[in-house]
Amino acid sequence: MNQDTLRQVGPVILSILVILAVAVVRNYSRTLAAVTATMPIAIPLSLWIIYSGFDGDREQVREYTDALPIGLLSTLAFTVAVWFAARAGWKLWPMIGAGYAAWGVQKIACCTL
């Protein structure tokens, strides 16, 4: 496998492996499945893509990482909304919808400040 193919396919394969790990681990421990699902996997994968795409240009990577904390706030809003919806007994799709609604509201609020 050449370098470009690995750079493009590697993150996708790793993401699939994490999803499979959650599916297997959930049979043994919901807590461990939740920990696995919330591992910081997207950030390292995206860093890999950015770093490779810009041939390790430190300035490009720094600019990219400057936006990461803002993105984490939206992820937190999504997670809290899903948690509240689950505690209220909502079904799957409304829970996910509430999560994305909270995520979107936070994104809009953050970007208009």
Both 2 and 50 in one domain: the answer is: yes
Question: Is the pLDDT assigned to residue 31 strictly greater than 80?
Answer: yes
Helices 58-66, 42-53: axis angle to 10 degrees equals 150
Percent of the chain with pLDDT over 70: 95
Q: Domain of residue 107: give its range.
A: 69-113
> Residue range 26-51: average pLDDT?
83
Both 83 and 31 in one domain: the answer is: no
> Residue range 9-33: average pLDDT?
83
Both 8 and 60 in one domain: the answer is: yes
pLDDT at 113: 54
Both 102 and 80 in one domain: the answer is: yes
Question: Is the pLDDT assigned to residue 105 strictly greater than 80?
Answer: yes
| CA pair distance 67, 84, nearest whole angstrom | 27
Here the tokens at position 22 are 């959650």
Considering the entire predicted model, what is its pTM?
0.68
Closest to 39 (Cα-Cα) out of 60, 61, 22: 22
Both 10 and 27 in one domain: the answer is: yes
